[in-house]
Chain A
């Protein structure tokens, strides 16, 4: 059964976890203008941004002129070149993560290629700027220094007369400007769900928000009215993404099961008492507010959604339960205070059984004794469990059961893995939504909602309903007595109806799970077969388990054997030519696949495991795999070593261990 669960999880694994970073990730994080234009005799200001680490904040800043391979300092934190004495200044603004160089009385000799940077050498932390003297300087691009995974917001305005025109944001690329988003809701697939164009006051003003900024989003953008390249209604925006190791990594994709629940995390600034909104992006543009921190809950979402604030770790958790397929989409956390607090998450809903089970709707009469039950699987054994009463402003935790205290109380029965919420007696104002849920280390997990309807007076019609509640709990185990005495008595009062019910239920109980099991086995078999067909490395399932069993090793050895067999074909030839041919075959195959499917990405995620397990398997098999240490074809060396590769492009550490560069 665990294996089946595994197979399912493999299908759900987030894509791209093994993706390699683009080169931008290791290039200099210092950023500034590409070009500075000024008039003769005028002045210029260069603003250079740097990552606000403690080291960078205190380190030397400099501005130097590139001359061949050298960079001659013009001005630094504690030095000014004689030629610039009195007309240049360098001011550091650590709080704004930048420093500014101001040059006045510009002459012809001040033009050229310069670098601004941090530190004592030009290695790693510098940015190149060209300074030129022109008759009419054009408007400089606006610079945006954006943290990786954070949100970028830009506001553009082109006057009232452009109010009725098309508004757009496009990214400059070879051969044109790729449309990212426009007012006709034409959105680039790469930005689907994470870009929002909103109109602002005064007319003709609009703003674009992009969440989850990634390395690839660095570049030159244009926002404008009308069409790109026509008229003067456009502005140049230079966006640079840098990494801040302290910036929290939020989940960008949440998967929930039908009937189950999904947990979303949003960042917020606890110092600002802003209103927080949780909104769903509409397909036809715009968004709809589902819940906000003032107590608004959208119609049809009562009892389904709740917001929990945790000021300690600056997050807001939103839980949505009773998931349906139509809940799929993109959800945004917004705030009326700061635009930076926005974030977006995609929700996927898959078919499945929610982990928490129990009666979803319970009717009972006022004054009676009632137990709401919620069964949880073994995986939640060590989790903190709770019952809470839902209200539009949140879900208030109900205290654990204390002996002798009347009123609603929640308790956890660990022996039969059910949580019981007891009402003794049931009051009319107890009616409403109750959530049972799990928590670990303060982080909210799955929840289940129960709707409690309290009917006034005693009505005989409702007693079978009550019995149902009891019998369902009884299927778990014997209640721990004491507090549940009332329920026992009532059960004894109508024994025959209870028996009848059980009799009719037996058939359903046997047939239902059986059909489900067959369905699961068939699906699992289909998935396994499909993956085998795709020559996938399913053996690497083991990489997600902490302890790897011997069977895994055997299958891994199989893989390594086939792998080494392939390599032994190559090694005797040894020469460059053969390697080159295998190379081209595979690389050609790779390039034809412009975009990998998510499944393939998930498969790639295991290759790192295969590298290591490969070596283990080789070691354990006593060196029979016969993979000699092939010396690399080092034809072009210094300062870079060029190695021909005979494995796939973006995932090739696996072939590396054979090379020994010492």
Chain B
């Protein structure tokens, strides 16, 4: 009788520890960023959500958010170019990891490119907030026309 009581107490204690320590360590909304392309204004995130068919299972949900800058020019650095009417989003390109990583090989640190064809510049549909864009404008000065750069994004053009 006593031993079974002891067993019950032990069980309760262990159950208690499981219940107390059982809460998830990380926050509830565990959502991860797959793509955050500021150039084309695309973010892709993913997270696990309970399946609609079977609530006991989790399925992966991927959220793709695209902000389309409708007033952007074909060439964002040239305000005289026509308005952009086609916006192409290739997820294969967006998902490319072009950021080189540092790896250590034989005691030396090397830069390793993670993706292929990363050299081709991407067409941007919008301005990067931290970059200064300028366009040359003709200026008549002392009877002489010269091209001077004019800031397209003045707030981004302050020096550090």
A and B from one complex:
yes
**Cβ B107 vs Cβ A446 within 8 A:** yes
Of the residues B26, B51, B63, B159, contact of A580 by C-beta under 8 Å: B51
Q: Does B144 contact A (CB under 8 A)?
A: no
**Cβ A616 vs Cβ B58 within 8 A:** no
- In the complex, what residues of B have CB within 8 A of residue A190's CB? 25
Write the B5-33 contact mask toward A (1 if CB under 8 angstroms, else 0).
Answer: 00000000000000010011111111111
A139-160 CB contacts (< 8 Å) to partner B = none
CB distance from A481 to the nearest CB of B (A): 32
**Cβ B23 vs Cβ A641 within 8 A:** no
With A580-B59, A612-B115 in contact, do A23 and B33 touch (Cβ < 8 Å)? yes
CB distance from B159 to the nearest CB of A (A): 7
CB distance from A255 to the nearest CB of B (A): 8
- In the complex, A515 Cα to B106 Cα: how many Å? 22
CB distance from A99 to the nearest CB of B (A): 16
- In the complex, A25 Cα to B44 Cα: how many Å? 12
- In the complex, A14 Cα to B108 Cα: how many Å? 14
**Cβ A656 vs Cβ B155 within 8 A:** no
- In the complex, A615 Cα to B91 Cα: how many Å? 14
Of the residues A178, A544, A652, A659, contact of B34 by C-beta under 8 Å: A652
Q: Does A22 contact B (CB under 8 A)?
A: yes
Interface stretch, picked from B77-85, B93-101, B135-143, is B93-101
Nearest A residue to B93 by beta-carbon distance?
A657
CB distance from B34 to the nearest CB of A (A): 6
- In the complex, A650 Cα to B108 Cα: how many Å? 30
CB distance from B102 to the nearest CB of A (A): 9
The A interface is mostly helix, strand or loop, or mixed, namely mixed
CB distance from B110 to the nearest CB of A (A): 8
**Cβ B92 vs Cβ A219 within 8 A:** no
With A23-B32, A661-B64 in contact, do A652 and B46 touch (Cβ < 8 Å)? yes
- In the complex, what residues of A have CB within 8 A of residue B116's CB? 612-613, 616
Q: Does B43 contact A (CB under 8 A)?
A: yes
With A445-B107, A580-B53, A612-B115 in contact, do A54 and B159 touch (Cβ < 8 Å)? yes
**Cβ A649 vs Cβ B106 within 8 A:** no
**Cβ B91 vs Cβ A659 within 8 A:** yes
Interface size range on A against B: 35 or more
Write the A579-618 contact mask toward B (1 if CB under 8 angstroms, else 0).
Answer: 0100110011011000000000000010011011101100
Q: Does A174 contact B (CB under 8 A)?
A: yes
Write the A269-298 contact mask toward B (1 if CB under 8 angstroms, else 0).
Answer: 000000000000000000000000000000
With A20-B34, A174-B28 in contact, do A656 and B114 touch (Cβ < 8 Å)? no
**Cβ B57 vs Cβ A584 within 8 A:** yes
Nearest B residue to A583 by beta-carbon distance?
B59
**Cβ A652 vs Cβ B60 within 8 A:** yes
CB distance from B126 to the nearest CB of A (A): 11
Q: Does A173 contact B (CB under 8 A)?
A: yes
With A216-B26, A445-B107 in contact, do A643 and B159 touch (Cβ < 8 Å)? no
- In the complex, A608 Cα to B94 Cα: how many Å? 12
**Cβ B108 vs Cβ A379 within 8 A:** yes
**Cβ A26 vs Cβ B91 within 8 A:** no
- In the complex, what residues of B have CB within 8 A of residue A17's CB? 101, 103
A-B contact count (CB 8 A): 171
With A23-B31, A611-B95 in contact, do A9 and B65 touch (Cβ < 8 Å)? no
**Cβ A9 vs Cβ B106 within 8 A:** yes
CB distance from A353 to the nearest CB of B (A): 11
**Cβ A649 vs Cβ B46 within 8 A:** yes
- In the complex, what residues of B have CB within 8 A of residue A12's CB? 104
CB distance from B157 to the nearest CB of A (A): 8
**Cβ B58 vs Cβ A588 within 8 A:** yes
**Cβ A544 vs Cβ B97 within 8 A:** no
- In the complex, what residues of B have CB within 8 A of residue A9's CB? 104-106
Q: Does B130 contact A (CB under 8 A)?
A: yes
Residue among A445, A590, A639, A656 having the largest count of chain B Cβ atoms under 10 Å? A656
With A26-B33, A55-B158 in contact, do A657 and B95 touch (Cβ < 8 Å)? yes
**Cβ A13 vs Cβ B103 within 8 A:** yes
**Cβ B58 vs Cβ A176 within 8 A:** no
Q: Does B36 contact A (CB under 8 A)?
A: yes
- In the complex, A656 Cα to B160 Cα: how many Å? 39
**Cβ B64 vs Cβ A26 within 8 A:** no
Q: Does A81 contact B (CB under 8 A)?
A: no
- In the complex, A14 Cα to B115 Cα: how many Å? 19
- In the complex, A355 Cα to B159 Cα: how many Å? 46
Of the residues B61, B104, B110, B114, contact of A608 by C-beta under 8 Å: B114
Nearest A residue to B42 by beta-carbon distance?
A661
Jot down 6 A-B pairs with beta carbons below 8 A, ordered by A: A26-B43, A54-B130, A219-B27, A612-B96, A649-B32, A660-B90
* Shortest Cβ-Cβ A-B pairs, 8 listed: A653-B95, A657-B92, A175-B23, A23-B31, A612-B116, A20-B32, A608-B97, A641-B64
